[in-house]
Amino acid sequence: MGEKITQNSDNSLNVPDHPIIPFIEGDGIGPDIWKATKRVIDSAVETAYGGKRGIDWLEVNAGEKGFERTGEWLPDETLSSIEEHVAAIKGPMTTPVGKGIRSLNVAIRQRLDLYACVRPVRYIEPVPSPMSHPQKVDMVVFRENTEDLYAGIEFEAGTEAAKGLIRYLKEQMGASLDPESGIGIKPISARNTKRLVARAIQYAIDHSLPSVTLMHKGNIMKFTEGAFRTWGYEAAREQFPDQTISEDELWDEYDGVQPEGKVLIKDRIADMLFQQVLLRPDEYHVIATPNLNGDYLSDALAAQVGGLGMAPGANIGDRCAVFEATHGTAPKYAGLDKVNPSSLILSGAMMLDFMNWGEAATLVRGGISAAIKAGRVTYDLARQMPGATEVKCSEYGDAIIEKMKTT
């Protein structure tokens, strides 16, 4: 009989040996990749803990499949179940077009206040990569998940609201805008910035990583992106005074030699950081960024290590976390048992880490690497790997399980 995971006031978890974990299979390719993922995760847990531990999966409704069953795209019970059980995992979901919902994923993040979108970008040998030294890419992006672009405040060009705002901006600020412009609002707050940056710093401390980089465009947008930078440094000083140092302190007090046990907090302008992650990826470990920069950066980084099919993700808040595939429903491959399930499987490994079941997470990553090394891969990787054998989604899952048990 499964039990609920519970959370203590300091955010640490009490994970029973048989936790109940809600899952949303998802739409399109969701059922195929979920089937493979569930088998791999169950097998990793079984192999790591010899039957002492196991996950009690609980299906919850959302997306197209949820709508067919309940008449709702995102039932309230689904959200309360995720919150009650602390951790959940989901496949991709179809976004209903013209149904008054902008995106189900954004709705889940906002309703559960999952303020950090966490995307680890780690190279798994021998996945094809456009980089000369892809093994140097090992970063985790913490993207703010509730404001900036995601606040979604826009005024359509030509509407009274847009024109009124343009008039106001002219009167109050002397801004001379084309009266037919569309307008978007970019809110960034101290509260949301600080909790995101604090989570990124805590991650660096927990994983003994040397640096956290604040990515921003503060040279141009001083009161939003620039403020993100200022508040990020403040969060480090206020909440981690003994565990962090700035680059100024590094040079003024330590002559450029990073002291043991301290996380270096640095900041980089967004466009420059895009170059740096290509040219000097090993200098970046954890990156904390506002929403829009993070959107661009996490997909660009995913391309460096094998594309979206290989990139895991999680949305984490103070009350619960949802682990998810980073790609969409790829409708043209739905039901063909063809696509790469690695994104969802690796998100499952992140969930195992979150639960402090690191032994099982390590087995999953090792199994994926060994299956890929053996050249038994899905079509997306096979077409880039000379000599590889293309296998179905389920067969790739079999290969991972076999490798986990034998290596």
Query: Nearest approach, Cβ of 104 to ligand NAD (angstroms)?
Result: 7
Q: Which of 74, 162, 188, 330 binds ligand NAD (CB under 6 A)?
A: 330
Q: Tell whether residue 281 is a contact of ligand NAD (CB under 6 A).
A: no
With contact defined as beta carbons under 8 Å apart, do 64 and 35 qualify?
no
Q: Which of 65, 194, 217, 403 is catalytic?
A: 217
Distance of CA 78 to the CA centre of its chain: 20
Q: Which of 115, 123, 150, 379 is catalytic?
A: 150
Closest to ligand NAD by CB, 324 or 337: 324
- Among residues 327, 365, 376, 403, the one that binds ligand NAD under rule CB under 6 A: 327
Q: Is the dihedral of CA 394, 395, 397, 401 positive or negative?
A: positive
Q: What SS3 state is found at 20?
A: strand
Give the DSSP per-residue string, 191-230: HHHHHHHHHHHHHHHHTT-SEEEEEE-TTT-IIIIIHHHH
Strand 20-24 vs strand 244-246: parallel, antiparallel, or unpaired?
Answer: unpaired
- Closer residue to ligand NAD, CB minimum distance, 293 or 329: 329
19, 92, 294, 348: residue in contact with ligand NAD (rule CB under 6 A): 92
Q: Are 242 and 261 in contact (CB under 8 A)?
A: no
Tell me if residue 32 is catalytic: no
Instruction: Give me the count of residues in the chain.
Output: 407
Among residues 121, 380, 397, 400, the one that binds ligand NAD under rule CB under 6 A: 380
Q: According to CB under 6 A, which one of 18, 170, 332, 405 is a site residue for ligand NAD?
A: 332
Contact status: 339 vs ligand NAD (CB under 6 A): yes
The stretch among 39-47, 69-77, 92-100, 214-222 that binds ligand NAD (CB under 6 A) is 92-100
Options 329, 351, 376, 401; binder of ligand NAD; rule CB under 6 A: 329
> At closest approach, how far in Å is the CB of 93 from ligand NAD?
4
Q: How far is CA 41 from CA 12, 38, 175, 364, in A?
A: 22, 5, 56, 7
Q: Which of 56, 113, 295, 318 is catalytic?
A: 295
Give the dihedral sign, CA 291/295/297/298.
positive
